[in-house]
Structure 1
Amino acid sequence: MTHENETQDEPVQDQHSQPDDAKAAGILMQQEADLAGHDEALVLNALHQRFTDSGLHIDEDTLHAHAHRIASLTPNDFSKK
């Protein structure tokens, strides 16, 4: 916010920034809801895409472990679609 006769000369910082671990947890929760019980390769591809899009780095072994876990979950009504 600027006051009278003042200008904003610098970018406004992101007002809703989250720590990387919270972003990663959110991605994993969403993928669990969307892809529970799906083919592990499909889950792995989706995880790669989501983490790449978000700019977060997750090591390959951890990514494979999450893909395996999500693929092993019992599908819910939404993930069956």
Structure 2
Amino acid sequence: MPDEPRTVYDLRGLKCPLPVLKTRKRMQTLAPGTLLEIETTDPLAVIDIPHFCNEDGHRLEDAAPTEGGHRFLIRKKA
């Protein structure tokens, strides 16, 4: 998975609910199985992004803290 291509989406500086809304809109443009890596500084993203993935059927591959925020790796549902 580390060498697998991914789309990086920088959502730093946006507050709830914008990171989830923008992620949802971006996921609609991607092919099934695509990896989307998002970066966010919104502290609520640690709750909102996993919830979004669960609701929409995407797989949260990884979630990790970064300096000032979090990085999430999401695989679009097939």
Q: Same fold (TM over 0.5)?
A: no
User: TM (normalized to structure 1)?
Assistant: 0.35
User: TM (normalized to structure 2)?
Assistant: 0.36
